[in-house]
Amino acid sequence: MARRIIVCDGAELARLWSRIGAADNEELFWVPREEESRARPPGFRALPGGVSPDAFQKLNAKEDDGFALVSEDAPFVRAAVAAIVQSGPSGAPLLVLSDDLATDDLPEHPCLRRTGLRSLIRDDVDDEFDHLNNLQRVTSLRRVLGARQKIAILLQPDPDPDGIACGYALRVLLGRNRTTAPLVSFGEVTRPENRAMVSALGMEVRRISPEDLDEFDALALLDVQPPVFGESIAPRLRSIDVVVDHHPERSGYDALVKDIRTSYGATSSILTEYVRAAALELHPKLATALLYGIKTDTQLLGRETSAHDIDAFAYLHSEHSPALLRRIERPALPTRDLRALGRALTRSTVEEGVHLLVLGRVREDVIPQVADLALQAEGADWAVAAGFVGPDLVFSVRNVGHVRAAGDVVRAVVEGVGVGGGHRSMAKGIIPLKAFRKVYGGATHAVVRSALLQAFIAAIRREEIPRQDVAREES
C-alpha cells in the first residue's frame, strides 16, 4: 500500500491518532465538528469541504492507496465511503476504526474492514493495514474470478500439502465447489500422507492433461508458477488469471493477479492471511489443512520460516482439529518398503557430513520420507535417500539449512544426465537408469552408493563431479 490517507472525525479523534503515532507513509486529515475549536491538531490538515467527493478528489488517490476513517458516527462513515467511491477508485481499500460502530452500521463495500480504536497501539494499526492490504488482494481475486463459470485451480505435479491446502482455501474464499473450481494437476498425488490429507478433507485432485485446460474459462496457479511445468507446457500458461506462490519469482508469463512472497515459508501462510482479512469463518477442516501446509513446508516452523508463518500458524492452531491432523500425519507404509529401509540402514554411513541411503526398488513417495529420517543421523549435515522407480533413479535431498543450497547441489549432480532442483534445504533429482549406467558403468546398489556419495561431496565443495572414475573403481 503506497499511501495511507487518514481521515479523523473531529479534533478529539485526531489528537488520539497523534498519540498513537503516525507512520511515514500516512497523510493526516481531520474534519472539524461545529462545536469544536478550530485549532488544528498537531500534524493534521483540514479536509477542505469535509467528506465530499470534491474534497477527496483533490487528494489524487491512486489504485494502491488506502483510506482509514476514524469515527464513532455512522452517518459520517457512510458519507465518507460514498464520497471516496465517487471521487476515485471504486474498490479503494477502506479501514474503519471505531469502538462504537458495528459491522451492520457500515455501508456495503467490497474492500472494507472494521476494527477497534482506543485500545490500539502503533503496531496494531500497522497490522490492521496489513490485513486491509490482504483484503484488497482477496477483492482482486473475486473481481477477476467471480464471474467465471469454471475455474481450474492448478497445483504442481504430485501436489504437496501446501498446494492442496491453498487450493481448498481459494475455493472457500470464492464460495465455489469441486464442480465449478476443481483442484487439478498434471500428475497424481502419490505420498501417503498427501493422499491421506485429500481423503480426510473429502477433497479430490483431478489429474488432467494440458489439453484439458481448454474446458475452463479461468486458471489459478497456487504454490507453483508456469515455468515449473517445463518448456512443452509453459507456452499454454503464458497468460493466466491468478498466481499465488512463495517460491522465487520466475519470468515468462503474465497474470491478472500475481502475489509472490518469497520471504514466506509456505504459500498456505499467504492464503491464511487472505482468509483472516476476509473475516471468513475458520472451520476446523480448513484450519487443519492450512496448518498442515505450513507445518510441512517449514518443517514445523524450523526451516525458512518468517514471522508471517509463525503468526499464521498461531492463528490456525486454536481452530484446527488434532484428530484430523493425526489422521493425515500417520499414513500406512508398505511392509516391503519398510524392509528396504531396514536393509539400507544396515549399510548406511555418514561421510563428510553426507548420510546416504540406497533403498532399491520402492514406491516413490517413500524416498522423501526416508530423507527426512536420514537427516537425524549423528553428524549428518546432508541426507540423500535414493531408490529405483520405474526406469529412473530418484533421490531426495535434505540439509540442515546453513550449508550450500540443496537445489544448487542437486542441479550440479544431475547436470548432463538427469533433471532436478529444489529449495535451500530440500531438493529432488531424477536420473534415467539408462543414462546412469552409461556414465557410471552400472546401477547396482554399490555403484549407486559410491557414485552418488562422491558426486554429492564434490558438488557441496563446488568441485567437478567424478563420472567414469567411479564406474572403474566399482567394476
Confidence of residue 138 (pLDDT cuts 50, 70, 90): very high
Largest CA distance in the chain: 97
Give me the pLDDT at residue 379, please: 93
Give me the pLDDT at residue 333, please: 64
CA atoms 346, 352, 355, 359: torsion sign: negative
As a whole number, mean pLDDT of residues 94-122 equals 92
- H-run or E-run covering 5: strand 4-9
Cell of 179: 464442480
Q: pLDDT digit string (tens) for 369-392?
A: 889 889 999 999 999 999 999 999
Confidence of residue 198 (pLDDT cuts 50, 70, 90): very high
pLDDT at 312 over 90: yes
Please indicate whether residue 243 or residue 60 has the higher confidence score (pLDDT): 243
Please report, for residues 11, 105, 252, 446, the alpha-carbon distance to residue 225 in angstroms, rounded to integers and kept in the order given. 50, 42, 10, 38
- Which of helix, strand or coil describes residue 195? helix
Quote the mean pLDDT of the chain: 90
Contact between residue 439 and residue 445 where contact means Cβ atoms under 8 Å apart: no
Global model pTM greater than 0.75: no
Distance CA 89, CA 110 (A): 12
Give me the pLDDT at residue 331, please: 62
As a whole number, mean pLDDT of residues 241-258 equals 93
Cell of 459: 558438488
pLDDT at 309 over 50: yes
Please report, for residues 126, 292, 314, 387, the alpha-carbon distance to residue 288 in angstroms, rounded to integers and kept in the order given. 27, 6, 12, 31
Confidence of residue 177 (pLDDT cuts 50, 70, 90): very high
User: In degrees rounded to 5, what are phi and psi of residue 216?
Assistant: -105, 150
Using a pLDDT cut of 70, give the percent of the chain over it: 96
Give me the pLDDT at residue 131, please: 95
Beta strand spans in 246-368 (E): 254-260, 350-351, 354-361
Contact between residue 283 and residue 290 where contact means Cβ atoms under 8 Å apart: no
Give me the pLDDT at residue 422, please: 84
Contact between residue 130 and residue 115 where contact means Cβ atoms under 8 Å apart: no
pLDDT at 22 over 80: no
Strands of the 4-9 sheet, one edge to the other = 45-46, 26-31, 4-9, 66-70, 94-97, 112-115
Strands 254-260 and 239-245: parallel
